Amino acid sequence: MAITRQQSLQVAEDLLAISDQLAIQSMQYFTNSRFSWGAAARVLVAFNIRDHLKGIVALMKADLDSQAYGLLRSLYENFLTLEYLSRVTVRGRRRLTPKQKGFLFLSFPVYKRGLTDIQYQKENDFRRIRTRRSKLVKSDKYWHGSNLKDIAIELDKIRPKGDTPHLDNYLTVFSHLSFISHPNSRDNIYYDFDDKTNTFVLKPPYHHDATPFVSSLYAMRSFRKWATTIKSPLANEIELLAKKIVKMSKLI
């Protein structure tokens, strides 16, 4: 028996309820004495994943399943980013730690401004960030000086075989979601053409009931990292929900 739309949405809403508590706890956690580049970067990405999951639920409730795929693509990209921010990886001969990646992530807006504003290049903040960044990455491309594909490759190199299969399927998953989210026919889900009468007929709203559930699989893993980062007791509640989600995944 396939997972129902109601079950799929309920899982996402249960997870969002936990994330709402994590959001409040995060504000309480980040006092001046507890700030760290790595932790702050991870929490910001987790907030982004939370918003994407909320958007997916809202779109599904409005019968806009086809548009929810676009948010799932962004959620998945943030999932990969959070994985990357959470681990030590090696790029070439350079070892990058979560703290160093957190610096790259949070300082990029200042660095980016300096790339386009000649006058701002004279500012001490930009000079300091440029110097430190140059010791970590050699490219100006994105905050991490790379691309999403290379990030996934870096992550796969440090994983034992069989661990986190979502990343092993990176190219397939992301490419498929990219095709759906980019302008295209979307397999003609909006209308039918009647050859006999030469008329177009609108189809009923496109439904893919498992989208909130699949999104929750990625979000759940990310929220677990979020809870661990801010040392929240909600990590135990997420673990209980994770067991339920894994058991329900057999319905897909």
pLDDT at 162 exceeding the cut of 70: no
Decide: 47 and 85 in contact? Cβ < 8 Å: no
Number of Cβ within 10 Å of residue 249's Cβ equals 15
Any domain includes 145: no
pLDDT at 169 exceeding the cut of 70: no
Tokens 């801010």 identify what position?
230
pLDDT bracket for residue 136 (50, 70, 90): very high
Decide: 28 and 61 in contact? Cβ < 8 Å: no
Q: Is 109 helix (H, G, I), strand (E, B) or coil?
A: helix
Please report, as a single letter, which amino acid is at residue 174. Answer: F
How distant is the alpha carbon of residue 45 from its chain centre?
A: 7
Q: List pLDDT tens digits, range 29-71.
A: 887 667 889 999 999 999 999 999 999 999 999 999 888 988 9
Tell me what the mean pLDDT of segment 214-227 comes to: 95
Q: Model's pTM, two decimal places?
A: 0.88
Any domain includes 92: no
Any domain includes 194: yes
pLDDT at 115 exceeding the cut of 80: yes
pLDDT at 150 exceeding the cut of 80: yes
How distant is the alpha carbon of residue 83 from its chain centre?
A: 9
Question: Strand ranges (DSSP E) for 92-202?
Answer: 94-96, 191-194, 199-202
Tell me what the mean pLDDT of segment 107-130 comes to: 91
Is the model more confident about 35 or about 123?
A: 123
pLDDT of the residue at 167:
58
How many helices (H) and strands (E) the chain has is answered by: 10, 4
Any domain includes 234: yes
* Whole-number Å distance between alpha carbons of 161 and 117: 46
Q: List pLDDT tens digits, range 186-212.
A: 667 788 888 889 999 888 888 889 999
* Whole-number Å distance between alpha carbons of 102 and 132: 13
pLDDT at 2 exceeding the cut of 90: no
pLDDT at 129 exceeding the cut of 90: yes
Alpha-carbon distances of 218 from 51, 205, 209, 246, 247, rounded to whole Å = 13, 26, 16, 12, 15
pLDDT of the residue at 210:
92
pLDDT of the residue at 157:
81
pLDDT bracket for residue 226 (50, 70, 90): very high
Q: How many residues does the chain have?
A: 252
pLDDT at 73 exceeding the cut of 70: yes
Mean pLDDT value across the chain:
88
Tell me what the mean pLDDT of segment 144-150 comes to: 87
Any domain includes 185: yes
Q: How many domains does the chain have?
A: 1
Any domain includes 93: no
Tell me which residue range forms the domain holding 167: 5-87+158-251
Any domain includes 128: no
